[in-house]
Amino acid sequence: MNIIRKTMFLALTVTVFMSTFCQCGRNKGKQIDLDGMHVQMPDTLRVGMLNSPTTYFDYRGTPMGYDYELMSRFSKFYGLQFKVVIGGTISEMIQWLDDGKIDILASPVPVTAEFQERALLCGPRNVSNQVLVQNIDISKGSIVKDVTDLIGREVIVQNDSKYFYRMQNLNEEVGGGIKIIPLAKDTISDDDLLSMVWKGEIPMTVVDSDVAEAALSYYPGLDISVKVSLDQYSRWAVASDSYGFANALDRWFADEKENVSEVFKKYYHMSKLEFFDAPHDGLDDLKTLVFTDGRISPYDNIFKAAGKKSGLDWRLIAAIAYVESHFDADVTSWAGALGIMQVMPRTATSHGYTPQDMLDAAKCVDVAVKTLSDLNEMFEKRIKDSDERENFILASYNSGPGHILDAIALADKYGLNPCKWNDNVEAAAIMKSKPAYYRDPVVKNGYFRGTETVNFVHKVQAVYNYFKDRT
């Protein structure tokens, strides 16, 4: 089994080391002593989670997310294991707790009378509300500062959503006049609307404050200061008789406030903008490079040696490095991707290196080229045309192969060509950011911010062509 198949297997099974507690007689395994109180723990904790851009998602073959990482840290503290069980709704997973199908629901559960009657709410204490999202630069002097300023203004929201109904109620509260424009909920996501505001395609929208706050790291320049609803509190949940487990979660979160704050900053404050997210074609900054005697970078010898060994064009390797890091061998991304080729720690380890090794350009390029070669082998039978296959390889290098296989399946299901990237599989990749598609039965890897990968492929190809024309 080559490394790509191993990575896919790991990503699909999503099993990680962690610890937990369950006092309820479900899935009993080990017992620990918590200051004199004996608490039962299952051998493998079953963790219900929503697949979403903040709770849990797959990033370059690595499971990530705010709630996922908190669960991982909590479990590592106690040294056990867990597996993620993806649910469609909070209500569905509350029922799973009742039925003993999961041991904990590690996604934001609204603190309501209904849920408090059915489960023990515990762990992190989150507060959110619905906020108006505007583009500061585009709005300029006409920015809304109070809900009464919305009279006569257009607000675009998802149809048949809590945002739509909240805006209807708010319209009645201010005496009418707000122009509420609904868009189909199943075909447009929160991120789509936020991107549209950022680009100036729509004037404003409404989303939850936690979603909006996380979006600022992708879309700087948005204003989310105007609340349009009351505060909504949420926590995690365990079964109603799992008192020991709930107590352990509450105590851990109380003791680990600083660590929890670090995780919050990572997902909600650190910039997620990569070079390939920029609105230009990726070539503007290349004008600062001086091509002397056919040289592209200080690392050309490394690229050429890797290209000769693998059969890849060294200029393609250089183009990936430029788009990933601007030839900075010491850079680390918000998600932990390392070095000149932005290799994830898990990928480095799978090739026999340590994550720290990826700050060595030669070792980082070695891992990247082996990954590219494995991807070529994986797609060789499926995509016969080598130029076309290159797009699939680049896309998989950026996102992990699981998301691209999902996009191929979606393209095939919805009448697109599953063997062509431009306007076909790339369109299906973008579809995976919408709930109607990332919850489709043919999708195995859930939510995916496909625009990042689509932009990456276009930028690498543009830079690659630029290098070929000058060397």
Amino acid, single-letter form, for residue 30: K
Quote the pLDDT of residue 45.
92
Give me 184's structure tokens.
């189909």
Quote the pLDDT of residue 13.
35
Query: Is-contact 242 23, C-beta < 8 A?
Result: yes
Query: Is-contact 208 130, C-beta < 8 A?
Result: yes
In this structure, the number of other CB atoms found within 10 A of the CB of residue 245 comes to 26
**210 half-sphere exposure, CB direction, 13 A CA radius:** 19
Within the chain, which residues score under 70 in pLDDT? 1-37, 139-141, 185-186, 273-285, 287-290
* H helix and E strand count, the chain: 19, 15
Quote the pLDDT of residue 184.
82
Q: What is the pLDDT of residues 79-135, one digit of tens each?
A: 889 999 999 899 999 999 999 999 999 999 999 999 999 999 999 999 999 999 999
Query: Is-contact 18 74, C-beta < 8 A?
Result: yes
Cβ-count burial 93-106 (b if 16+ within 10 Å, e if not): bbebbeeeebbbbb
Q: How far is CA 22 from the centre of its chain?
A: 29
pTM of the model: 0.82
316 Cβ contact list (under 8 Å, min separation 6): 307, 390, 460, 464
Rounded Cα distance between 133 and 144, Å, is 10
Q: Which residues are catalytic?
A: 324
Give me 336's structure tokens.
């932990």
Quote the pLDDT of residue 293.
75
Quote the pLDDT of residue 214.
87
Quote the pLDDT of residue 412.
98
Rounded Cα distance between 306 and 309, Å, is 5
Quote the pLDDT of residue 43.
77
**DSSP state letter for 201:** S
User: Three-state SS for 249?
Assistant: helix
In this structure, the number of other CB atoms found within 10 A of the CB of residue 355 comes to 18
59 Cβ contact list (under 8 Å, min separation 6): 335, 400
Rounded Cα distance between 63 and 445, Å, is 10
Between helix 386-399 and helix 314-325 the angle, nearest 10°, is: 30
Domains, the chain: 3-126+234-268 (3.40.190.10), 130-230 (3.40.190.10), 275-470 (1.10.530.10)
